[in-house]
Structure 1
């Protein structure tokens, strides 16, 4: 049976999600206190008068009802025009493209660490279950999951950078600048997913076909890497797909701690300046990446496990 109708359904679902997110974001800005025109003029070191504020409000179409503003914005988005930043006057797409690479770099580095941490932690816990190594990893998982990434980032800066002088405090430019922010993002999530891999490995170890493989005289190492691990990794694909979207959102927060010139700093500046076109475009971009990565993870999962085809 062809999966084309299912992908058409998911494309429609993606479009509905993007529309809902954009509408909620626009309504929140419309209901929030403060006049964007006054904020923009004040940021330009001016003492704006009422006439200046009204003129800017008219040029930005802020004197129209929010529904008219939203429909007008949607029309421009559908034609590929994301508008101009109210803060800088430059095209929104140009501003985002300049900051996208550092954020993706950080998110992908953190994703690689999550895969390594979850793989190593899950396999060690499963192989040495109910032993000291398993208990130690379980304690580290609980502790790291309770620490927000930005707090962990601050602690890493203080200890690793300021006290030990091993890695740069922040900024961008080399692999060394990515290690601390990526690790602060990946530690808790990686160990938590490692506990899920541990459960999957233990369930697979107790399966009947593994017992049959042992009766055939296969070695423990060969059974683990040829039969147990591949079966346990299949459900982890979807988890890692969701994880990448979470890391992208978390990267935008951690960037502020490590002073990285990414989408996080751009988002904070846009929110503080009430730069609605910029915020709307950033929210849509993050939502699109998150949904697309999840769909890709589901597709890979389906390719590895055809029985999941009915779910697609």
Structure 2
């Protein structure tokens, strides 16, 4: 059971993580070459003069030192104001909310695929260990893990859309539009976590209390699903929790490959346009997701671990 002081300590640590990452991102943009005001005016198909650049710098507070700009941004964040997008002139929070649903749809679908893939491949490899199925899953795991999600997405789009014509290659609107992007995110992670589940299952199978259960005459099916699998799933909870935040970040890259109107396209456009308020808000969102998900999975694992460990 996590006590109140521990919860406060975890919240403080999470706050320091968020602060450090946002500060690093802000400094990175502040020290990077190029004038954001000039880039913004050039993206508007203008040939900006020095007076226009200086006027925009004053409007965006770019003529202030970066520590002053960062403190102003932090003060706005604490009031719930993420600023105005330099690229569109619209509130950052409104644009993020509008693009959040497609990204969440993709990330959650990929998360379900990861759980299903890791569970199926891990159980198959453990039950048939040192046999053909185990070796085949191991080879597929190495191949899928070696390919980055965007490259895997291109290959899946080429095979299932261009050659077979089974699934749409871009856009959104139905469940069919999310299958290929989600699969490209989930395949490598799911098979890799399946190998970790296999190791946990094999270790539990060789435990003394499983041998004792067999001597009592319990059936193999009952032993596996009542004793072996629950024990092996406890360490997987943390992996699945971290995976959810990882999928949310990976979805932003895959969305660009499949032209989905989510946070991925918004991030790419913001980085190319040097839209610092938008990039800062997106980085803050991703980090906050990681902190919350990690905290929840850690709490859940602490609650389940004593219960599972107490069962013979």
TM-score, with structure 2 as normaliser? 0.97
Q: Distance in 2 between matches of 1:269 and 1:149?
A: 20
Corresponding position of 2:257: 257
RMSD of Structure 2 on Structure 1 (CA): 1.1
Q: CA deviation at 1:307?
A: 8.5
1:195-274 correspondence runs (5 A)? 195-274=195-274
Structure 2: where are the runs of 5+ without partners? none
Q: Distance in 2 between matches of 1:260 and 1:136?
A: 33
Contact 2:271/2:279 (<8 A) preserved: yes
Q: Distance in 2 between matches of 1:220 and 1:194?
A: 21
1:144-183 correspondence runs (5 A)? 144-183=144-183
Q: Which runs of 4+ in 1 moved over 6 A?
A: none
Find the residue that maps to 1:301 and give its secondary structure: helix
Corresponding position of 1:299: 299
1:67-216 correspondence runs (5 A)? 67-216=67-216
Q: Distance in 2 between matches of 1:169 and 1:82?
A: 33
Q: CA deviation at 1:213?
A: 0.8
Q: CA deviation at 1:159?
A: 1.0
Q: Distance in 2 between matches of 1:76 and 1:250?
A: 28
Structure 1: where are the runs of 5+ without partners? none
1:276-287 correspondence runs (5 A)? 276-287=276-287
TM-score, with structure 1 as normaliser? 0.97
Q: Distance in 2 between matches of 1:245 and 1:152?
A: 20
Q: CA deviation at 1:306?
A: 3.3
Q: Distance in 2 between matches of 1:249 and 1:79?
A: 25
